[in-house]
Amino acid sequence: MFRNFKMVSKVVFGRGCFDQLDEILSTQRADDDSIMIFLVDDVFDGKALIEKIPARGKDLIIPTNVDLEPKTGYIDELSDKIKDYMASFSGSLPPDSMPPDSMPPDFMPSGVIGIGGGSVMDIAKAVSLMLSNKGKAHEYQGWDLINNPAVWHMGVPTLSGTGSEVSRTTVLTGPEKKLGINSDYTVFDQILLDPELIADVPADQHFYTGMDCYIHCVESLTGSYLNAFSQSYGEKSLELCRDVFLKKPQDSDDKLMMASYFGGMSIAYSQVGICHALSYGLSFARGIHHGVGNCLAFDSLDEYYTEGVIEFREMMKKNKIQLPKDQVENFSDEEMETMTNVALVLEPLWENALGKDWKEIMTREKIKQLYSRMSE
């Protein structure tokens, strides 16, 4: 069976295109009373970008904190806050669960816009799903568990590499696992890619999130799920990453933004691999951020991604990056068990990397060895 996958419906790209946001949103506003919810990375509090957000009338800007990567509890909190806000105008809480187009307009915002890195974009996707689906976010971690379409939602990256802008998942840490809400309804309806928005990202963060993209490509291009669709996007993305991190051209930000998009498209029709499975464990047990966790894991995977790891080290050198190895020192037995459990839930990743018989190759002991190797 071939996957018939949903793609982002509309894309605007270009330096300064953020100025078009008002015009784009006006096509989604039914009337002057319709409400847009802007979830904005709180790193922009007091910065010029906030002033440029075209909020009108009863629109709500919610500063969104991503010191910790998105937790299901935070999604529930934000969704409840928005429902309460809507109820303050309509006088009663919305029905428990209903597709947005059958919900009375008073109860539903016209759109949810996430402005930030992978974390805020994922939060915007998850909140837009939870406004129209009953229960709690953690109940939907998995594949195709969502029943109702999401509220119209839009992503505006301010940091490039994760590919969250094009993916059909929102990666969340829940009480038991770090796992995405994967569904066709998760995909953004609109994205806005303005390279000017990533100009001021601190150098380390720029590298770690950029390497997320590089690793997506390496894992996709070396995986058993590879096909011409994924390969076409993956190769172009890899070429752009090489340009950005080895040659550092003038238009680096434009290129990285497109690399992220293409890298995301590549894994959409294949999968990531061992590095991501291990990185999810690191993030769950120690709260290590995705890009950093990927770099720490990838640096110890010579055995599986030999050429990729050599090139990654060249990129680290060129960009003067020192990995924070202290974050992966002295794992307790309990942490080892937890990380191994989290990593093993991600079966498609292992199968992509190692083939159908991966369970014979990747034992619990082997996974623990790989975690131990990271601090060397």
Chain residues that interact with ligand NAD, rule: CB under 6 A: 41, 43, 66, 69-70, 116-120, 122, 158-159, 161-164, 167, 169-171, 197-198, 200-201, 205, 209, 212, 289-291
Q: How far is the CB of 254 from ligand NAD (least distance, A)?
A: 15
DSSP reduced 3-state for 350:
helix
Instruction: Show Cβ contacts of residue 302 under 8 Å, excluding neighbours closer than 6 positions.
Output: 309, 310
Q: How far is the CB of 282 from ligand NAD (least distance, A)?
A: 11
- Cβ-based nearer residue to ligand NAD, 279 or 340: 279
Closest CA to 281 of 296, 265, 267: 296
Instruction: Show Cβ contacts of residue 296 under 8 Å, excluding neighbours closer than 6 positions.
Output: 279, 282, 288, 323, 324, 325, 327, 328, 374
What is the total count of residues that contact Zn ion (CB under 5 A)? 1
User: Which residue shows structure tokens 């949103």?
Assistant: 25
Residue 200 partner contact from Zn ion, ligand NAD, none using kind-dependent CB cut-offs of 5 to 8 Å: ligand NAD
Q: For residues 299 and 324, what is the distance between their CA atoms, to the nearest angstrom?
A: 12
Q: For residues 343 and 58, what is the distance between their CA atoms, to the nearest angstrom?
A: 43
Buried b vs exposed e over 248-257: b needs ≥16 C-beta within 10 Å? eeeebbbbbb
Site track 255-274 with Zn ion (rule: CB under 5 A), x = hit: --------------------
Q: How far is the CB of 276 from ligand NAD (least distance, A)?
A: 8
Q: How far is the CB of 94 from ligand NAD (least distance, A)?
A: 26
Amino acid at 157: P
Q: For residues 264 and 180, what is the distance between their CA atoms, to the nearest angstrom?
A: 15
- Cβ-based nearer residue to Zn ion, 68 or 93: 68
- Cβ-based nearer residue to ligand NAD, 94 or 223: 223
Site track 314-343 with Zn ion (rule: CB under 5 A), x = hit: ------------------------------
- Give DSSP secondary structure letters for 107-161: GS-SEEEEEESHHHHHHHHHHHHHTSS-S-GGGG-EES---SPPPPEEEEESS-S
Residue 285 partner contact from ligand NAD, Zn ion, none using kind-dependent CB cut-offs of 5 to 8 Å: none
Site track 194-223 with Zn ion (rule: CB under 5 A), x = hit: ------------------x-----------
Q: How far is the CB of 296 from ligand NAD (least distance, A)?
A: 14
- Cβ-based nearer residue to ligand NAD, 107 or 298: 298
Residues in the site for Zn ion, rule: CB under 5 A?
212
